[in-house]
Structure 1
Amino acid sequence: MNVHELVSVLADPDVLRARCRALALLDVVLGGSAPRHDYFPGWRAGVDLATRENGSGDLYGVVFDPAGVFLYGFDHECDATPWREWPRAHWPGLLEGLPAALAHYPADPELQFEGFFDATVCVWREADAASWRCGPVVFAPGESDGAGWLFRVLTDGSAETVCSDAEDYYERPVDRQAVAAILAGAPVDRRTVSVLNPVAGFEAVADRARWV
């Protein structure tokens, strides 16, 4: 899957936001020392930011702005990496067509690395739009932008896929029923915490969860 397929399978913004929060909350409960998913309400005035990093330099971010949603991903080993040449350069067409209301985000220092917006995938959806859009990027057969694996969990959103991904990362079994409850928006209670992370204290987890 590349970005052209990604725009057809992304959920609507409200569903996407809820899924991003649930994934961040799940990482809080699972209690890893380096959680992959984060959610920052009020990252900017009226703007939320969801992120995922895998610890190897690959990441994605989703900016929820009243003007729309801006989603980007970076696969450092794919064909579309800006590091394929020096100075770094985006894959042709990556940001072409980005609406003015969202066009300032690639220039936000917090979304840049060493003064450059490292991205191999970019997608957006204005507040009044009925579908997701991307730039006119072109890939030869076999070329990739990393969209398929970067956004697999976010686009699927099923408890089975989320659990499999978490088990691979945390290297321990993850209860499907508890994860399904979190994905459905159920409050995190003592039972959920004890099932997903028996060594965690409920109060500590609940305190951290309030910030998601």
Structure 2
Amino acid sequence: MARLLPDISVLRDLCRSMAVLEAILSPEWSSRYHSFDASWSPGEEMASMRNGSGDEYDIVFSAAGAYIRGFAHEAVMSPYGNDGPWPGVLDSVPEVFRRCVEEPAFCDEDGMPVVTACLWREVGDGCWRVGEIDCPDGVSDPDGAAGLFARLVDRSPEAFRRFAEDYYEVPVDLDAVRHVYALHPLTQTVVTALNTDLAARDLADDLAAARYPSVAG
């Protein structure tokens, strides 16, 4: 999975785009899969995915690079079936990202990291890193990463449209998705193509959260 993920800057832009698209499709925040918070903590931004069924990921972007925590609740490598995180998943996380490992938002009420997959990439690294893990034999996608990160690997607007049409059960305009994926300034025309009941001005907070270009006329 690590070799399939894009560079940090490309990943960040993709996460921003998906968050804005879902803000348009679902004005109700709690119903969205993807979100982005450019002010998550001082000097850090966070992209998140929640599928409503217990699977989730968080990506922390900082001056140091990026840290990814994924949790697939039915994965063989779930910490809840192994008395803690699977050996090797977190052991090699470098010091610059150790605070993310212990971040309360990524742990359960007992302080245990809720994680089945972990990746990181420091600024200047040529690739994403993972720990040295002895994965269980004969198990497909043991950490759930293939499912969790599918839309981060297939970064096409078509892939997002397939997801959105399946999840929201509405037609999704591909040209509008392409517009947002290109990070072009949002227009009312694009918003209306995706949600006829939404005014572009009502997206101000979501655009700010994603550091997305301001609404154009």
Q: 2:153 aligns with which of 152, 155, 180?
A: 155
Alpha-carbon deviation of 1:42? 2.3
User: TM-score with structure 2 length normalisation?
Assistant: 0.90
Q: 2:10 aligns with which of 12, 15, 20?
A: 15
Alpha-carbon deviation of 1:110? 1.9
Is residue 32–residue 170 contact of structure 1 (8 Å, CA) maintained in 2?
A: no
User: TM-score with structure 1 length normalisation?
Assistant: 0.92
Alpha-carbon deviation of 1:32? 4.9
Alpha-carbon deviation of 1:124? 0.5
Unpaired runs of 5+ residues, structure 1, are: 1-5
Instruction: Tell me the distance in 2 between the aligned counterparts of 1:32 and 1:190.
Output: 15
Q: 2:123 aligns with which of 127, 142, 147?
A: 127
Which residue does 1:3 correspond to in 2? Answer: none
The alignment covers a number of residue pairs equal to 205
Alpha-carbon deviation of 1:207? 4.3
Q: 1:195 aligns with which of 193, 196, 199?
A: 193
Is residue 74–residue 146 contact of structure 1 (8 Å, CA) maintained in 2?
A: yes
| % same residue | 35
Instruction: Tell me the distance in 2 between the aligned counterparts of 1:127 and 1:60.
Output: 21
Unpaired runs of 5+ residues, structure 2, are: 211-217
Instruction: Tell me the distance in 2 between the aligned counterparts of 1:101 and 1:26.
Output: 32
Which residue does 2:183 correspond to in 1? Answer: 185
Which residue does 2:165 correspond to in 1? Answer: 167
Alpha-carbon deviation of 1:201? 2.1
Q: What amino acid is aligned across from residue 165 of structure 1 in structure 2? A: F
Alpha-carbon deviation of 1:141? 1.8
Is residue 75–residue 144 contact of structure 2 (8 Å, CA) maintained in 1?
A: yes
Which residue does 2:55 correspond to in 1? Answer: 58
Which residue does 1:24 correspond to in 2? Answer: 19
Instruction: Tell me the distance in 2 between the aligned counterparts of 1:185 and 1:49.
Output: 18
Cα deviation digits, residues 45-96 of structure 1 (max 9, x gap): 11111100001111001011111210111000010111114xx411111012
